[in-house]
């Protein structure tokens, strides 16, 4: 008897002729969309053939899988000239100690049957356990995009303890329309970092042959309830991710925990996901370690629908040496992101901002440790572009080339109880933040510029902050072009030029309003006042305090416009350090060409 034949449980009960009959019967009773084997399943043990063409091993393994029972590959070297198909529910493929090598490019190793039903009903409760699985290599003739393991329209898939290597231009594992499945304790790596950013583990939606090749029927089914746990992933364009989505049909319930991901493009990169958890992972030498987006290849029939990623949790991850951002949450004006928690992560040595958000609202960035942010003017936490109503609290930010915390063009955010030190620009910087931003109870030290800097942000509350050793030529608190700021109970000590800097807006359209600002600190506070841009109707500005008039210096700036006209702006500044006691006020007196006077007052409380 040939040593490469299939041995099954029935062999010993019914004899060689009965087993052969069962095998032949099984092969000829496979249905196009078969799920449950119609005969009596036969467990099989395969021996390696030594045939490096891949024909013999592929036929033997396929024949065993067609019997509907569990299949064991004995230790040794196996070769496949084409992928093998799993057609029946409930099969376990054991490959511990075996090495299976793909010898033809563009074929893959292991797949579900190419035809069948949609949804999650094509294949159920299949386990692949152990083995080293080697795909194509990085040579010009092997540059075909085909997944090594490809499961579609399936549920209950478990890939455990496998080593899956080398797929130059494809995915190592692809789930397309898969639910309630697990990839665990695997070593995965060896896709090209530089050619298209292929994911080592790809989550896909069965929309079309262009988004999910081989994923028919194309019924727009996403992935749901997927766990990717305790794997080691390396040398890939993206470690784990997705790059397409269908309007209204989004991946849901994805958990990525306890993985080590290193030397990749992006570590994790997904778009349009609901209810996703990324926790306890370790990233090393990624570009951006964790990237969530609500934009990408968005397809579908209704262009009026927009996806919004919601309920994303990024907790307890360690990120070292990201060349770009440590964590990036990116939406758009039509596809916002809400309900994100970024908490308890450590980011060390990122090349851009440690945490960056775009169009991300009603979210929390808290208790992260963000160190050694390098590159040009990069920040610890950076919220921009209508990232509204967020909370940034309890973070430790140390050593950054930009700001500790920078919020731009966003409103209603709260920045509290953060510790910021050794940053080259401002500790906390608010720019064009609309209304109702709160900066409270932060500790800021050793900044290159101001401890807290605010520009064109109305109704800001700056309360209870401790600022030590702000920049020698800058300010403890700097507020410019912002209406109705409230500055209370801050402690400012050290080497800064002046503790508090305020500007009074004196454009002719609004200089007639009275605007009271509350300050604390008494005689030690010191206030440096200057006007914002003045229109040409203003003829003089005087600062009055402590019964004195403080002289101002006029500066004029001329700016050429695109239509070749020139715009002239004026600014009045006092060089005097005005010290106020409790209950005293400083008043900005503005005169215009009609000899009218307008006032703007600030009071120390």
CB 418 within 8 A of CB 443: yes
Checking if the pLDDT of 289 tops 70, the result is yes
Coil/strand/helix, residue 289:
coil
Of 146-155, 254-263, 483-492, 518-527, which range is least confident?
518-527
Question: Do residues 281 and 259 lie in contact, with contact meaning Cβ atoms separated by under 8 Å?
Answer: yes
Backbone angles phi, psi at 588, to 5 degrees: -95, 120
What is the predicted pLDDT for the residue at 4?
35
Find residue 355's DSSP bridge partners: 327, 381
Specify the pTM: 0.82
Beta-carbon contacts of residue 17 (< 8 Å; ≥ 6 apart): none
Query: Is the pLDDT reported for residue 523 higher than 50?
Result: no
Tens of pLDDT, residue by residue over 154-185, are 999 999 999 999 887 789 999 999 999 999 99
Q: How far apart are CA 371 and CA 28, in angstroms?
A: 63
* Residue 21 clears pLDDT 50, i.e. is over it: no
For residue 579, pLDDT beyond 90: no
Alpha carbon distance 79, 89 (integer Å): 25
- Is pLDDT at 11 greater than 50 in this prediction? no
Q: What percent of the chain has pLDDT over 90?
A: 51
Distance CA 307, CA 311 (A): 13
Domains, the chain? 517-605 (2.60.40.10)
Residue 445, token pair as written in the block: 């030290």
Q: Which two tokens stand for residue 530?
A: 């200057």
Q: Do 470 and 494 form a contact (C-beta atoms < 8 A)?
A: yes
Distance CA 466, CA 274 (A): 39
């Amino acid at each position: 008897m040939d040593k490469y034949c299939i041995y099954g449980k029935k062999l010993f009960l019914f004899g060689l002729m009965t087993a052969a009959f069962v095998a032949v019967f099984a092969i000829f009773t496979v249905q196009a969309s078969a799920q449950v084997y119609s005969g009596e399943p036969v467990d099989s043990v395969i021996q390696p053939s030594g045939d490096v063409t891949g024909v013999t091993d592929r036929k033997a393994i396929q024949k065993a899988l067609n019997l509907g029972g569990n299949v064991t590959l004995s230790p040794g070297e196996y070769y496949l000239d084409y992928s093998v198909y799993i057609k029946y529910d409930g099969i376990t493929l054991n490959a511990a100690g075996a090495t299976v090598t793909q010898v033809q490019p563009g074929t893959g190793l292991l797949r579900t049957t190419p035809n069948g039903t949609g949804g999650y009903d094509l294949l159920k409760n299949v386990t692949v356990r152990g083995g080293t699985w080697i795909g194509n290599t990085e040579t010009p003739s092997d540059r075909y995009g085909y997944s090594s393991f490809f499961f579609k329209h399936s549920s209950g898939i478990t890939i455990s303890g496998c080593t899956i290597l080398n797929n130059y231009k494809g995915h190592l594992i692809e789930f397309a329309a898969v639910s309630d499945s697990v990839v665990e304790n695997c070593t995965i790596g060896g896709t090209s970092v530089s050619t298209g950013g292929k994911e080592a583990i790809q989550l896909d939606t069965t929309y079309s042959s262009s988004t999910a090749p081989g994923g028919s029927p194309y019924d727009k089914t996403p992935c749901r309830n997927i766990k990717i746990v305790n794997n080691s992933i390396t040398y890939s364009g993206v470690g784990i991710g997705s790059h397409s989505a269908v309007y209204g049909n989004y991946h849901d319930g994805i958990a990525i925990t306890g993985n080590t991901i290193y030397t990749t493009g992006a570590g994790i990169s997904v778009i349009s996901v609901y209810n996703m958890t990324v926790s306890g992972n370790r990233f090393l030498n990624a570009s951006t370690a964790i990237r969530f987006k609500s934009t990408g290849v968005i397809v579908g029939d209704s262009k009026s629908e927009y996806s919004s990623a919601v309920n994303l949790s990024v907790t307890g991850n360690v990120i070292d040496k990201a060349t770009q951002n440590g964590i990036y949450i990116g939406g758009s004006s039509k596809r916002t992101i809400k309900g994100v928690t970024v908490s308890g992560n450590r980011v060390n040595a990122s090349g851009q901002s440690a945490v960056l958000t775009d169009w991300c609202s009603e979210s929390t960035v808290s208790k992260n440790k963000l160190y050694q942010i390098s590159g040009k003017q990069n920040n610890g936490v950076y919220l921009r572009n209508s990232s509204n109503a967020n909370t940034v609290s309890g973070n430790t930010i140390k050593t950054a080339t930009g700001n500790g915390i920078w919020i731009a063009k966003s409103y209603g955010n709260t920045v509290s109880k953060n510790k910021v030190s050794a940053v080259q620009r401002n500790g906390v910087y608010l720019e064009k933040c609309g209304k109702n931003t709160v900066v409270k109870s932060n500790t800021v030290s050793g900044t290159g510029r101001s401890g807290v800097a605010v520009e064109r942000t109305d109704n800001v509350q700056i309360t209870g902050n401790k600022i030590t050793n702000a920049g020698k030529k800058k300010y403890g608190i700097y507020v410019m072009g912002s209406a109705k700021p409230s500055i209370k109970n801050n402690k400012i000590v050290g080497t800064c030029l002046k503790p508090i800097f305020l500007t009074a807006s004196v454009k002719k359209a609004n200089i007639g309003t009275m605007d009271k600002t509350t300050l604390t600190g008494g005689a030690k506070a010191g206030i440096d006042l200057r006007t914002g841009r003045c229109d040409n109707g203003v003829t003089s500005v005087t600062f009055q305090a402590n019964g004195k008039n403080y002289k101002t210096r006029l500066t004029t700036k001329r700016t050429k416009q695109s239509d070749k006209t020139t715009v002239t702006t004026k600014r009045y500044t006092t060089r005097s350090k005005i010290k106020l006691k409790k209950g005293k006020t400083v008043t900005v007196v503005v005169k215009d060409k009609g000899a009218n006077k307008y006032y703007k007052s600030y009071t120390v409380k």
